[in-house]
Structure formats: C-alpha cells, structure tokens
Amino acid sequence: MKAIWNNTVIAESNETVVVEGNHYFPKSSVNEAFLKSSDTHTFCPWKGTASYYSLEVNGEMNKDAAWYYPTPKDAAKQIKDHIAFWKGVKVEP
C-alpha cells in the first residue's frame, strides 16, 4: 500500500494494519520528513487518544492529515507505532 499526497509518496508498506477501513502504516514505512507535529488530539472509546501530524509537501500544508495512537488501548494494540491518513491522502495498492 502507498499513501500519496500532493503527487508524493508519504508512506509505503506491504504490512499495513486495517482498522475500521483505514490502513495504518508502520511508522518505519513513513517518510518522517513530511510529518509536522500537531497539537490536535481526539478520543476513541476503544482505541484511546489519537495524536495528529500535519503533512508538508512541496511547500503545501495538509493540517492534521495523519493520526496515530501513542498508547492505544489493549483492543487496538495492533496499531501501536502505526500511522493512518485522511484529508485527501490517497491510500492505494
């Protein structure tokens, strides 16, 4: 799978974890040069508290376009150290 935004591959992995229709990429497969820290957090009752990254590619910013669970609850432990994408990021084979 690949995560693509602004004509740039942000992440690529054959070992994504699919949860609720979202592909979570291993953090090691994500090009961290495109990730910018965000202060945004959301809460999921069964996964826990999500943190976000904005993407910066070719001078353009996509705010809070990636999320991850730093300390997921036990029910979601398979997505620890994984990052998922949305907000126009194409995830495709």
Q: State the chain's mean pLDDT as an integer.
A: 98
pLDDT tens for 56-78 read 999 999 999 999 999 999 999 99
Say whether 28 sits in a helix, a strand or coil: helix
R_g over Cα of the chain: 12
Q: How far is CA 57 from the centre of its chain?
A: 15
| CB neighbourhood size of 76 (10 A) | 18
- In whole angstroms, what is the distance from residue 83 CA to residue 2 CA? 12
- pTM equals 0.96
pLDDT of residue 30: 98
User: Tokens 């995830």 belong to which residue?
Assistant: 91
pLDDT tens for 42-51 read 999 999 999 9
Domain at 2-92: CATH code: 2.170.150.40
pLDDT tens for 12-29 read 999 999 999 999 999 999
